Amino acid sequence: MIQFSAQQIAMMIQGKVEGDASVSVSQFGKIEEATSGQLTFLANPKYEEFLYQTKASIIIVNESLVLKTTLPATLIRVPDAYAAFATLLTKYQELKTENLTGVQTPSYIAATAKLGENHYVAAFAHIGENAQIGNNVKIFPNVVVGENVKIGNNVILHPGVVIYADCVLGNNITIHSGAVIGSDGFGFAPKADGSFQKVPQLGNVVIEDNVEVGSNTTIDRATIGSTVIREGVKLDNLIQVAHNVEVGSNTVIAAQTGISGSTKIGKNAMIGGQVGIAGHLGIADGIKIAAKSGITKSFKEPNQTLTGNPAGDHNASLRAQVYTKNLPNLEKRVKELEILVAQLTQKA
């Protein structure tokens, strides 16, 4: 366990200590469950009641927070408690892995592969011919790095990650367990006899800087050219990115979303879980897509919010849902009107 004092933590997150600056913690805890020796934070006002009940030794809070009573815990005040806590967790994680260096056995590193400084290669990892790996790269057990792969600095490949041949990864990338980068795209040409002929996938995958890829996510290599994940993209678990897709910078995509081949997604998009996106489409910058939506056409106007299947304007989709729920009553009223019209017609 690594211990930090309140003063040390405040220096890491540019905060101001309120209380005993020498008190130390070695663990993190949720504010409603934290105990002595743990650090927690308060960002959401609905959890404020726990601020006065928690046993945590140190609490990170917003500098704007007005206390209802004095607290036994030491506070660290910052402009944004949630962002500060995220920064602290990141620094803690870095400290836990910075001492991991060297090569464990058994592992395989091809003679033509080049590794930078402070690398870590765990047992049962495989690094192929002509692979180029930068500084401070951590490669955990059962990772496969294929031939001619290029990896930048400060990259973490968690257990079971597979990087196929010729793919390119930038700096400050984290790829979680079971992710596959560069498997073949789904390319098959129909033949006259009804069977399918595989179309060789000769391209690669390019992942730019500051990207995170979740567990069991797959990013297919391009048929020709590159499948591209731009800088700052965050991909959740269980996502399928097909061949020749481009995901714009700082876009975030939630779990179980599937993106079909050659679709281009703009920057700063937000895509919910279980969204399905058809191929050869364009999604403009800043678009938000609600969970379970189906995207069947391009959307060129930026900063829209889309809902439904097929997806359309969010507000229009919500109105349509209201009408759909009322259909049984409308059907009943129509039938009653038909009977009334028939009766009036007979009297006439």
| Residue 40 main-chain phi, psi, to 5 deg | -140, -175
Q: Using the 8-state DSSP alphabet, how is residue 221 labeled?
A: P
Tokens of 101: 């260096």
For residues 122 and 140, the answer to whether their CB atoms sit within 8 Å is yes
243 is annotated as an active-site residue: yes
Catalytic residue among 126, 243, 280, 314: 243
Residue with tokens 């994940």: 229
Work out the number of other CB atoms within 10 angstroms of the CB of residue 86: 14
Q: How far is CA 63 from CA 25, 55, 122, 250, 300, in A?
A: 21, 21, 43, 28, 41
What share of residues in the chain are helix, strand, coil (percent, to 5)?
20, 30, 50
Q: Which are the contacts of 294, defined by CB distance < 8 A and separation ≥ 6?
A: 275, 276, 278, 308, 309, 310, 311
Backbone angles phi, psi at 238, to 5 degrees: 60, 45
Please provide the DSSP assignment of 15-40 as one string. -EEES-TT-EE-EE--TTT--TTEEE
Q: How far apart are CA 122 and CA 42, in angstroms?
A: 37
| Buried-exposed string 210-241: b where 16+ CB fall within 10 A, e elsewhere | bbbbbbbbbbbbbbeebbbbbbbbbbbbbbbb
d(CA 184, CA 261): 12
Helix H segments across 193-259? none
Helix (H, G, I), strand (E, B) or coil at 95: helix
CA distance 324 to 331: 11
What are the catalytic residues?
243
